[in-house]
Structure 1
Amino acid sequence: MKKNFFIFILLLLLKTAIFSSGGVGNDFLRINPNAKSSSMSNAYCAVSGDTNSIFFNPAGLSFVKNPIISLTHFSSFGDTNYEYFSAVYSMGGFGVMGLGVLYNYTFAFVEYDEFGDEAGNIDNRDITVTLSYSYPVISFMPFGINVKYFNSLLYKYTKTGFAVDFGAMIYINKNPEILGGFTVQNIGYQTAYIDIVDEMPVNIKAGMSFKTNIINDISILIAIDTNRLVTKDELPILDIGGELCFRKFLSLRSGIGLHHDAERFSFGFGINLANVKFSYAFVPYDFLGDTHRITLDIEFKK
């Protein structure tokens, strides 16, 4: 019994170190797997038009016109990997629906008994399923909602929970395109691994984005977000990201996160080939190592 308890504590500490510097329960709900938005330092609350809105602000789905399917692989540190599937479908005058399924896992540890013999594997994984809906209640101000179900396995202990996000966006100007966004994330409830129920990572996010053409076929996007984790007594953090797009074929992206512990830089690029888009993101961490994200988007243009 003591051995099982110590294994559980060790894995819990490892999981906290991997998922967050804040130590709030269910930090995997705050992990963004997508490459494009990650390369822009997650400054995406007021950016619209793709499946990233499922994670950052469901109201942004209202700007999606064609069906999109997105697949992501995220290689993190500590032998932790994420696989993410998302899809968006416009129902015309009835709004836009979205679906996101995030599965993250750590390669199994081998468990040994008191005699040094293998006693099986120690598994660690999380899965989150998100259903999204967005509708322009006002022509220039769409609203959106996410409903999330998540399940977490740590050694032989599990917990389950539900959460909702609420978001809104406002179309401020057409040319240059200026958008504002606001969302409240992860309001919900969860069970406990053993006895103590962790706090939900309720987060308030607000942002603005600016997009315009510099010269023919070259456009620039600048976005800025601020986040306030309600369950911690901390000042808001600031994320700034940008994208430079050449002839709608090649995109160069970068961002900086001004967090409490340190500045965090991110880099990436995107390649557009007709209906297929490829994105890559590189986000380094000083002590934990580097992370890599690869996303493939397929748009079914009508």
Structure 2
Amino acid sequence: MKKSIVCMFFASLLAGASAQAGNDQKKGQVGATELQINPWARSSGMANANTSRIRGVESMNQNIGGLSFVKGTEILFSSTKWLSGSDININSFGIGQQLGESGGVMGLSVMAMDMGDFKQTTEDAPDQDINFGVSMINLGLSYSKTFSNAIHGGITVRVISESIPDASAVGVAFDGGVQYTTSLGKDSLAKDNLHIGVSLRNVGPEMQFSGDGLAGRGTMNGQTVNRSINERSESFELPALLNIGVAYDINLSALNRLTVAANFVSNTASDDQIQLGAEYAFNEKFMVRGGFDYHKGIFGDEREMAHTGPTAGATVQLPFGEDNTRIFGLDYSYRASNPWGGSHSVGIKLGF
């Protein structure tokens, strides 16, 4: 029964992808593109290639199936200088809570973008010196469960809020994901070393801006009395995407692990991506990782993204407490870009 449910879920993901993804003619026609940003340090340092193997709270961004691996409580903080020099900062918080031995895991995540200050000008006062801010906040509520020793899946409901002082838009998006883990090999070091993952993200109804900022003064039907006229903004789609990933653990010894991973991203209204990454871990306490995020034109003059592909990162994760059952982790990642000085992410992980 469990396998049938998972097979049906895979089928629904692929069916949704065929309807949503891969249309170059729709470039630039979607909004809420901050949903495509990965604010977490561990997975971004691996170029997001670990869709099939991602674990814990970070899974709420890439593949919610990985949230089911949380044992007890996991808390994650992250701060990102996005395209260093552009004055854009991203702050994220996430928490995952296990619901008993077989009740699954609930998760909550918040991502907020600080775009800095903008100068406000109007037709009546083009030289006024007034600053205003832009608010972009995403709030996600997730549930993930282990269906068997090999199958893990879940779903996320995300509320999207974008606003300036006189106009705002609110939307809802849904994510779903499944991870499958199995053993490839017969020796003791080959346990659960092959990982396959599929996730469909950012699927939801169109969003539309409204507010006083879209209103103006004018006349109607030849009348001489000025009236307030509201202009209706065009609605926009969400940047839905499909992830299909695979990863393989090369267990060099009981303390040394090397993971290689690949991920294919099919985007609704932008070029598809191929993401490659690798991670070396010593005793699961010290980790270094790197990756490359490839998309069409990245090596030539046709490049349409600021990030140029290479990524790198590192983690120090140590136990603490009287019985060493609690975990403290410090993460860092770098994503190269041109122009600007790359994107830097720093994260703190607590597990207890």
TMscore range, shorter length: 0.7 to 0.9
1:26 aligns to 2:29 (yes or no) = no
- The aligned counterpart of 1:177 is 193
After TM superposition, the structure 1 = structure 2 runs for residues 262-281 of structure 1, keeping only pairs within 5 Å, are 262=298, 264-274=309-319, 275-281=327-333
**Quick one: distance in 2 between partners of 1:135 and 1:253?**
27
Q: CA, structure 1 residues 272+137, in 2 after alignment: closer, same or farther (shift >3 Å)?
A: closer
**Quick one: distance in 1 between partners of 2:285 and 2:144?**
28
Secondary structure in 2 aligned to 1:193? coil
1:284 pairs with one of 327, 332, 336: 336
How far apart are 1:219 and its partner, in Å? 1.2
- The aligned counterpart of 1:108 is 117
> What amino acid is aligned across from residue 333 of structure 2 in structure 1?
A
- The aligned counterpart of 1:205 is 243
Structure 1: runs of 5+ lacking an equivalent: 1-21
- The aligned counterpart of 2:294 is 258
Q: In terms of Rg, which structure is larger?
A: 2
1:58 aligns to 2:64 (yes or no) = yes
- The aligned counterpart of 1:6 is none
Question: TM (normalized to structure 2)?
Answer: 0.74
Question: TM (normalized to structure 1)?
Answer: 0.86
**Quick one: distance in 2 between partners of 1:79 and 1:211?**
38
1:98 aligns to 2:107 (yes or no) = yes
Secondary structure in 2 aligned to 1:45? coil
After TM superposition, the structure 1 = structure 2 runs for residues 125-140 of structure 1, keeping only pairs within 5 Å, are 125-140=135-150
> Could you report, residue by residue, the CA deviation over 1:186-242 in whole angstroms, capped at 9, with x for unpaired residues?
11124312511111111011101112321342211111110001345x4x3110111
Flag as ranges the 4+ runs of structure 1 deviating above 3 A: none
**Quick one: distance in 1 between partners of 2:164 and 2:34?**
13
Moved more, 33-42 or 129-138: 129-138
**Quick one: distance in 2 between partners of 1:88 and 1:133?**
9
- The aligned counterpart of 2:87 is 79
- The 8 Å contact of residues 182 and 191 in structure 2, kept in 1 or not, is answered as no
How far apart are 1:59 and its partner, in Å? 1.1
- The 8 Å contact of residues 160 and 190 in structure 1, kept in 2 or not, is answered as no
- The aligned counterpart of 1:217 is 255
> What amino acid is aligned across from residue 104 of structure 2 in structure 1?
G
Structure 2: runs of 5+ lacking an equivalent: 1-26, 184-189, 211-232, 299-307, 320-326
> What amino acid is aligned across from residue 46 of structure 1 in structure 2?
S
Q: CA, structure 1 residues 260+155, in 2 after alignment: closer, same or farther (shift >3 Å)?
A: farther
Root-mean-square deviation (CA, aligned residues, Å) is 1.8
1:248 pairs with one of 277, 284, 289: 284
